[in-house]
Amino acid sequence: AQKVTQAQTEISVVEKEDVTLDCVYETRDTTYYLFWYKQPPSGELVFLIRRNSFDEQNEISGRYSWNFQKSTSSFNFTITASQVVDSAVYFCALSEWSGANSKLTFGKGITLSVRP
């Protein structure tokens, strides 16, 4: 069965600090997709990134970067120079698009608080 573990439940940093959110996954499939989502205090869900299992290139988007390592089954998310607006719950998720029983499994989420 597929599983996503976000071992950190709450992280608190001071503005401008770098912070890394960890995500470890388990799957038996060779083809799968990994996601990160952001849920700010207002409650909406914001899609951040989707990565397929054949693409291990690291991704950078502004202050956000993602490190995908199949060898350790990890897909970690780093925010550089954090800002108060980064305060949110961040979810990592895994999907196996393999037919009738495709599932999207989310981790429990990490609550990030960025203090001014």
Partner 1 sequence: DAGITQSPRYKITETGRQVTLMCHQTWSHSYMFWYRQDLGHGLRLIYYSAAADITDKGEVPDGYVVSRSKTENFPLTLESATRSQTSVYFCASMWLAGPTDTQYFGPGTRLTVL
Provide the binding-site residues for partner 1, judged by CB under 8 A. Answer: 35, 43-47, 50, 52, 55, 91, 93, 100-109
Minimum distance of partner 1 from residue 113's CB (angstroms): 18
Nearer to partner 1, 45 or 81 (CB): 45
Minimum distance of partner 1 from residue 114's CB (angstroms): 21
Three-state SS string across 69-113, please?
EHHHCEEEEEECCCCHHHCEEEEEEEEECCCCCCEEEECCCEEEE
Nearer to partner 1, 74 or 105 (CB): 105
Backbone phi and psi for residue 90, each to the nearest 5 degrees, phi listed first? -115, 130
